[in-house]
């Protein structure tokens, strides 16, 4: 029987409680609704704490006014509303007087649904990937009700072995088509070779086809990780995580679908593991983790650096994830001027022309800022209680 939890990322999440601290006293007064600029989450023990903060001028953050959910709950932001899934429930919140207030009813998914990713078409229609069911639910976010579902079992590559679930996850909409990544798991430590994407017509909600590319494997990390995304040219980029290095004989890397096309671009594949990385032990990465598109072909994210890990790896203490600037157009990688972080503290967010990194480094735990305009840094600008997990600008 296949296991649906992410092997690397969720194992790391399970370790957060070993090193995180409890609640602290308040460090700043509650923000008013007009002041709130970010929603963020941290992991402490067996819980995820989700709260608001004004801006980067706060010196420290605590969890006193936070929502408390089971560890690993994912946050999504659309039209200044916050949607949270703990994989079997979906909640909607609005900012009010500096706190999050639930709006509407709670949506309940079947046991084992693994509702991990939401893509919004409008305020009245969104798609929720149910990784454990092999289906995409169609919902009305305004009423928090299910309006339909899309069965993707026909695209499972394991059908002959009795596996009817292709594990749909991260998705994106471009030109009326929903592109849904399919993880195609075979076991807890292996998946079908190649990248596989289901295309769905958002007008009819009918599957169009599945496209595949053998050059890179596993087109989703099975949790929200900052991709897929569309660049200024209208091209979609997918990052393939290659089973986080657990599966021999497959490669990670970026693939793309060019504007106006519905198939992978045969002229483009960027394998990060082939790049000689200056400034890190071993000069190589095995895969990229959380990331954000910064514009002009540049992605900012965390690369796993095997040379910086213990032998055997110590997932609690090893600060083996390094922030990098990845140039998709030039196929280059540049180490950011930050210390390495542990894998369970790797949040990231674009804010204007700035990139905010949530890390746990030798300097402490919190948010550091990179200013893209002039290349300057503000390290540990905001300290946090707990391990930085997810971060979004409210807009």
- H, E, C per residue of 329-350: CCCEEEECCCCCECCCCEEEEE
By the 10 Å C-beta count (0-12 exposed, 13-18 middle, 19+ buried), 30 is classed as: middle
How far CA 156 is from CA of 43, 80, 168, in Å, comes to 34, 36, 10
Tokens of 221: 């990390």
Structural domain for 195, as ranges: 7-393
Instruction: Identify the three-state secondary structure at position 276.
Output: coil
Note whether residue 162 is domain-resident.
Answer: yes
Instruction: Identify the three-state secondary structure at position 306.
Output: helix
Note whether residue 164 is domain-resident.
Answer: yes
Q: What is the pLDDT of residue 35?
A: 54
Radius of gyration for the alpha carbons in the chain, expressed in angstroms and rounded: 20
By the 10 Å C-beta count (0-12 exposed, 13-18 middle, 19+ buried), 262 is classed as: middle
Q: What is the pLDDT of residue 19?
A: 36
Q: What is the pLDDT of residue 320?
A: 98
Cβ 251 vs Cβ 239: under 8 Å: no
Task: Write out residues in the chain with pLDDT < 50, as ranges.
Answer: 1, 3-34
- Alpha carbons 286 and 303: distance in angstroms, whole number: 8
Q: What is the pTM of this model?
A: 0.92
The total number of residues shown for the chain amounts to 395
Instruction: Identify the three-state secondary structure at position 10.
Output: helix
Which DSSP state fits 30?
P
Note whether residue 1 is domain-resident.
Answer: no
Q: What is the pLDDT of residue 2?
A: 53
Note whether residue 286 is domain-resident.
Answer: yes
Give 245-255 pLDDT, tens digit per residue: 999 999 999 99
Note whether residue 333 is domain-resident.
Answer: yes
Could you give the number of structural domains in the chain? Answer: 1
How many degrees, rounded to 5, is the angle at CA 329 between CA 323 and CA 333? 25
Note whether residue 2 is domain-resident.
Answer: no
Give 252-291 pLDDT, tens digit per residue: 999 999 999 999 999 999 999 999 999 999 999 999 999 9
Note whether residue 247 is domain-resident.
Answer: yes
Cβ 183 vs Cβ 191: under 8 Å: yes
Q: What is the pLDDT of residue 1?
A: 47
Helix (H) or strand (E) holding 135: strand 135-140
- Alpha carbons 346 and 358: distance in angstroms, whole number: 6
Give 1-19 pLDDT, tens digit per residue: 454 344 444 444 444 333 3
Q: How many CB atoms lie within 10 A of CB 6?
A: 23
| Nearest alpha-carbon partner for 349 in 389, 303, 315 | 389
- Alpha carbons 233 and 327: distance in angstroms, whole number: 15
Q: What is the CATH number of the domain that holds 53?
A: 2.130.10.10
């Amino acid at each position: 029987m296949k296991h649906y939890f992410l092997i690397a990322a969720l194992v790391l999440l399970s370790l957060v409680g070993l090193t995180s601290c409890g609640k602290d006293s308040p460090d700043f007064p509650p923000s008013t609704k007009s002041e709130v600029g970010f929603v963020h989450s941290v992991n402490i023990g067996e819980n995820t704490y989700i709260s608001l903060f004004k801006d980067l001028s706060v010196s420290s953050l605590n969890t006193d006014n936070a929502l408390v959910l089971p560890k690993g709950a994912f946050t999504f932001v659309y039209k200044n509303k916050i949607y949270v899934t703990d994989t079997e429930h979906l909640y909607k919140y609005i900012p009010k007087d500096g706190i999050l207030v639930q709006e509407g009813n709670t949506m309940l998914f079947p046991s084992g649904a693994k509702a991990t990713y939401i893509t919004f078409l409008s305020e009245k229609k969104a798609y929720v990937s149910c990784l454990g069911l092999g289906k995409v639910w169609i919902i009305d976010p305004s009423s928090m009700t299910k309006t339909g579902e899309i069965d993707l079992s026909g695209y499972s590559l394991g059908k002959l072995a009795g596996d009817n679930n292709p594990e749909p996850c991260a998705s994106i909409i471009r030109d009326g088509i929903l592109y849904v990544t399919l993880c195609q798991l075979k076991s807890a430590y292996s998946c079908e070779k190649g990248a596989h994407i289901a295309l769905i017509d958002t007008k009819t909600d009918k599957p169009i086809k599945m496209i595949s590319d053998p050059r890179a494997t596993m087109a989703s990390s099975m949790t929200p990780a900052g991709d897929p995304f569309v660049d200024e040219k209208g091209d979609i980029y997918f990052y393939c995580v290659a089973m986080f290095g657990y599966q021999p004989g497959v490669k990670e890397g970026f693939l793309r679908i060019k504007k106006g096309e519905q198939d992978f671009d045969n002229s483009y594949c960027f394998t990060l593991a082939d790049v000689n990385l200056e400034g890190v032990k071993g000069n190589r990465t095995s895969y990229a983790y959380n990331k954000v598109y910064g514009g002009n072909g540049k992605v900012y994210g965390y690369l796993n650096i095997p040379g910086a890990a213990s032998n055997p790896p110590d997932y609690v203490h090893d600060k083996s994830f390094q922030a990098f600037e990845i140039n998709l157009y030039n196929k280059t990688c540049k180490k950011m001027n930050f210390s390495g972080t542990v894998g369970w503290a790797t949040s990231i967010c674009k804010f204007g022309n700035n990139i905010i990194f949530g890390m746990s480094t030798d300097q402490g735990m919190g948010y550091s800022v990179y200013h893209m305009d002039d290349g300057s840094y503000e390290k540990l600008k905001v300290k946090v209680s707990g391990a930085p997990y997810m971060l979004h600008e409210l807009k």
